[in-house]
Amino acid sequence: MNFNTILLFLILISTYLNLYFTYKKMKIQNKKTKLPISSKEWRAKVEDSNFKAWNANRERLKDKRKNN
């Protein structure tokens, strides 16, 4: 084996390692995270809290009007 052949093998190995690490990095970045609550449940929770706040303000204003 001459020197050029050895260099060719080293370049080939480094190229495949680079491809492997790039693929592995992309695979990790594209991994979807599991959310603890779905978007529909979150929306229902927010709407429920908004409704409760609105209802409490409505009742408070009714009491205020009755006192005046």
pLDDT of residue 11: 97
DSSP 28-63: HHTPPPPPSS-HHHHHHHHHHHHHHHHHHHHHHHHH
Higher pLDDT, 38 or 48: 48
pLDDT of residue 25: 85
The reported pTM is 0.41
pLDDT of residue 19: 94
Question: What is the per-residue pLDDT across 4-45, written as a single tens digit (0 to 9) for each?
Answer: 999 999 999 999 999 999 998 887 776 777 777 788 888 898
